[in-house]
Amino acid sequence: MTKVKMFPSPLLNRIRPTQSTFIFKRNAGGTPTDPIQKLFVEKIREYKQKSVGGEFVDPSPDIKKELAAEMAKLDKNYGGGPNVDMTAFPQFKFDEPKIDPIDNVKTAPAKQEKKKDEKKDEKKGGKK
């Protein structure tokens, strides 16, 4: 038993029974009955058989040359080559920087700051 929804307006309730509802069935699992649909499905199956292996379907020599040129351009720009796996994540190697401890120690500016601090303290002490 189906429930009929009532609209809040009596006018809409009168319009509802006059609407016609169509239910379309489609033969999804079987063979197509329409000749155009049948032809379309046959072409799809034919294309599927030809495209095995991830290659182009019926490529011309010009298309093959263009593909080879584009692949060579990608290899040149991104470091690929015949024995390089471009699908693998790149391996990074970071070397530790060489640090010379003598060059990093700077004593002169620290001595100058101490002298400035001493001069400030003397000025403050002299004003009091």
What residue spans define the domains of the chain?
A: 32-82
**What is the per-residue pLDDT for 105?**
56
pTM, 2 dp: 0.36
Q: Do 80 and 74 meet the contact criterion of CB atoms below 8 Å apart?
A: yes
Per-block average pLDDT, block size 10, for the chain (128 residues)? 62 57 59 85 90 83 93 86 82 86 61 67 63
